[in-house]
Amino acid sequence: MPKSDRRNFLTKGAKVAAAGAVAGTATATAAPKGPTKKVLWNGGKAPEKTPMFSPAVAYGNLLFLSGIGAHFPGDIKSHTKKVLDDIQKKLEESGSSMEKVLKAVVYLADINDFEGMNEIFLGRFGPEPPVRTTTAVAALPGKSLVEIDVIAYI
């Protein structure tokens, strides 16, 4: 399409869109249809003060869980088990399950813990595990050795 034809097309399109917006102001202000964001608070009740982040957010049939760590003395295996147990509990409270996890991101405080974490991780998501990214970070909050966040469907 020649440049002048594109310019005319865009100009006419803008005029038609503007006319439609003026003529149909009721439809322009109508509430959007489709999925909405729903925060799933721990204990089912929103905190009194604005929190730093949400523990879980549902959008349509997708569920996003914040990173979960283990904050007690222990080794990588005990930390990984605790984190996966907490993820499973949160998923089930939210209407999902470990088998419905699509993606997991694993953060390790020490990449040398990769094999130990894998021993506990293996099989926890059923016969068709999610895609996964694993990375080592400089440190994790609360001296956790591992933190994991997931995306699942409901």
Residues 14 and 80 in one domain: no
Residues 136 and 77 in one domain: yes
Q: What is the CATH number of the domain that holds 82?
A: 3.30.1330.40
How many domains are there within the chain? 2
Residues 3 and 67 in one domain: no
In 3D, which of 107, 84, 106, 104 has the Cα closest to residue 151?
A: 104
> According to the model, what pLDDT value does residue 18 have?
46
Alpha helices in the chain (DSSP H): 3-23, 25-28, 76-93, 114-121
The pLDDT tens digits along the chain (154 residues) read 565 555 555 555 555 444 444 555 444 566 668 888 888 888 777 888 888 888 999 999 999 999 999 999 999 999 999 999 999 999 999 999 999 999 999 999 999 999 999 999 999 999 999 999 999 999 999 999 999 999 999 9
> According to the model, what pLDDT value does residue 122 have?
97
Domain extent for 58: 37-153
Residues 54 and 83 in one domain: yes
Residues 137 and 113 in one domain: yes
SS3 4: helix
As a whole number of angstroms, the distance between CA 114 and CA 43 comes to 33
Residues 57 and 102 in one domain: yes
